[in-house]
Chains A and B, each alone.
Chain A
Amino acid sequence: AQSVSQHNHHVILSEAASLELGCNYSYGGTVNLFWYVQYPGQHLQLLLKYFSGDPLVKGIKGFEAEFIKSKFSFNLRKPSVQWSDTAEYFCAVISYNTDKLIFGTGTRLQVFP
């Protein structure tokens, strides 16, 4: 069955530190990849997406992610985090076969000033 793994459950950083959140998926066919963010008290928002083309995709608020097909990975990065990045981050995958959006368990990021 298709699955998504997020290795970091809880990450604590100081402002200006660099961020990398891991995401691996199990499906071997054609996929679309997403990162969603849920700020405290707010609903899920799309951070960035990969459909095809350049495997390095840029999203909102300075986030980027790199799709590495050979590693089945789609890691999220940000060079310098801010306190306002404190949120829960979800990686999600939708395959062309199933059309079901499958989410990882999420990573809770806390950024301290």
Chain B
Amino acid sequence: AQKVTQAQTEISVVEKEDVTLDCVYETRDTTYYLFWYKQPPSGELVFLIRRNSFDEQNEISGRYSWNFQKSTSSFNFTITASQVVDSAVYFCALSLVRTSYGKLTFGQGTILTVHP
């Protein structure tokens, strides 16, 4: 069975600080997708990034960056110069290529609070 672990339950930072959200996953499959979603207080999940298991290249999108390392089964997410609007719950998730694309295994989520 698949498992996604986000060890940090809650993180609190002051605006402009950099913050890294950790994600460790477990699967015996060799082909899979990894995701990060953001859930603001309004409730909807906002898609941030998808990575497939063959692509270990790190990605940067504005203040967001992701570090995918298969050797440690980690897919960490860094927010640079955090802002109050970044306050939300962030979920890391995994789906297998061989199963339904709709079946995501989510981590427990990390509550990020950015203080002014």
Do A and B assemble together? no
Chain A residues with CB under 8 Å of chain B are: none
Chain B residues with CB under 8 Å of chain A are: none
